[in-house]
């Protein structure tokens, strides 16, 4: 397995060479969104509206961070189960979503849509929320503040450690 370190802005050039199992240290702008935010975003897109952030080339982290302790940008920020977003993911991929970060496998529908759009799924380790918080340099709530921890946030991440769970060709670390 290979190891890479790159920014979100460089993701498009790396996606063709990334393989399931590769280690990645990602830096740049990543958005958080969980179930409730995904539902709102897809309802908006289905109604002809726009996402609260540009989906083209975006990376979404399936996480709901805890409040920040003094001197930190965020509290614990571990991944949530990605399969809960599978019903919403195909539409987001059709609108340009480039990559997702979460834990666990994805449905065959999502894997097929990822292959068709060239998207990548990164896995974050469950239980490592405190480690991940040290990689977050800035956090800003950008949509749905009434959802609390499930609001959409823009994160600035630095050397965020991930594993390629499903690559752009559809190869997966997960078995059916």
27 by DSSP, 3-state: which? strand
Enumerate residues 6+ apart whose C-beta is below 8 A from 154: 29, 30, 31, 53, 139, 140, 142
Question: Is 173 inside a domain boundary?
Answer: no
Question: Is 145 inside a domain boundary?
Answer: yes
Q: pLDDT class for 176, splitting at 50, 70, 90?
A: low
Which range of residues forms the domain containing residue 39? Answer: 3-166
Question: Is 9 inside a domain boundary?
Answer: yes
Strands 136-143 and 99-102: unpaired
Specify the pLDDT at position 127.
86
pLDDT tens string 78-116? 999 999 999 999 999 999 999 999 999 999 999 999 999
Domains contained in the chain, number: 1
The C-alpha atoms of residue 53 and residue 153 are separated, in whole angstroms, by 10
pLDDT tens string 43-55? 999 999 999 999 9
- The structure's pTM equals 0.96
């Amino acid at each position: 397995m290979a190891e890479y370190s790159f920014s979100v802005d460089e993701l498009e050039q790396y996606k063709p060479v990334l393989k399931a199992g590769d280690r990645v240290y990602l830096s740049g702008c990543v958005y958080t969104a969980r179930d409730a935010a995904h539902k709102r975003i897809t309802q908006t897109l289905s109604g002809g509206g726009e996402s609260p952030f540009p989906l083209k080339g975006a990376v979404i982290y399936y996480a709901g961070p805890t409040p920040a302790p003094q001197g930190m940008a965020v509290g614990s920020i571990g991944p949530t189960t990605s399969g809960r977003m599978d019903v919403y993911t195909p539409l987001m991929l059709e609108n340009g979503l480039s990559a997702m970060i979460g834990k666990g496998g994805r449905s065959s529908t999502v894997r097929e849509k990822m292959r068709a759009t060239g998207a990548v799924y990164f896995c974050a380790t469950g239980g490592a929320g405190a480690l991940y918080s040290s990689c977050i340099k800035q956090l800003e709530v950008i949509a749905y503040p009434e959802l609390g921890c499930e609001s959409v946030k823009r994160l600035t991440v630095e050397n965020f450690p991930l594993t390629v769970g499903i690559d752009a060709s559809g190869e997966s670390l997960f078995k059916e």
